[in-house]
Amino acid sequence: MISAGDFRNGVTFEMDGKVMQVVEFQHVKPGKGAAFVRTKMKNVITGAVVETSFSPTEKFENATVDRKSMEYSYSDGDLYYFMDSESYELLPIDKSVLSDSFRFVTENMVCTVSSYKGNVFSVEAPNFVELTVTETDPGFAGNTATNATKPATLETGAEIKVPLFIEPGERVKIDTRSGEYLERAKG
C-alpha cells in the first residue's frame, strides 16, 4: 500500500481498477483547513491525464508495471509475435496494442513490451532505428538551397519525408517517436 503523502514522480498505483502513474505532485498546506496532495497522473494503459487532489492519508494499492525487452519475430494476420530472449518463448500480441511507431520496426528488432498482471498494454519501438529507403523520387540539382524534402518509402512500408539527396537503397536513421528523418546511417 502507498499513501498519497508518499507520492513521487513515476510512482504507479491502482485507483478504481485503473493503473495510474504520478506525473506531477504538490503537497499543499493551506493556512486554514487540512493539507492535501495535488496530483497530475496518467492512466498507464490509455494514456489519459487527470488532475486530482487527495488527502495525504488516502491509501492505494501499489501497481507494478512489467517492462521487458523482447525481439519482434513475425506477424500472422492481426497477431504479432515477440520472443523472450531469455526463455525463447513466443508471446502473441494483438495489432491493436501496437503503437504508431511500430511501423518502423523490422523483424529481429528489440522492443519494450509493457504489461500489468500479465496483460500486455503497450509495445514501444526503439527510439531510433536505421532503415533502408526502398522508393523515392530522384533529387534535382539546384534545389538544395533550402531544407526541401521529398516523400520516401522505407523497407517496412512506412512513408517519411527525406532530404532531396537521399536515393533508393540508402540507409537512414529515423526518430520513431516523431517519424522524422535524422541523418544518413553511418557505415
Query: How many CB atoms within 10 Å of residue 78?
Result: 11
Whole-number pLDDT of residue 154: 93
pTM: 0.73
Domains of the chain plus CATH, in order, are: 2-62 (2.30.30.30), 65-124 (2.40.50.140), 128-184 (2.40.50.140)
CA distances from 135 to 103, 127, 138, 180 (A): 16, 23, 9, 16
Shortest CA distance to 173 belongs to which of 187, 184, 163? 184
Q: How high is the mean pLDDT of the chain?
A: 88
Q: Confidence class of residue 65 from pLDDT cuts 50, 70 and 90? A: confident
pLDDT tens per residue across span 6-56: 888 888 899 888 888 898 999 989 888 889 999 999 888 887 899 999 999
What's the pLDDT tens digit per position in 138-165?
866 555 556 788 899 999 999 999 988 8
Assign 115 a pLDDT band (cuts: 50, 70, 90): confident
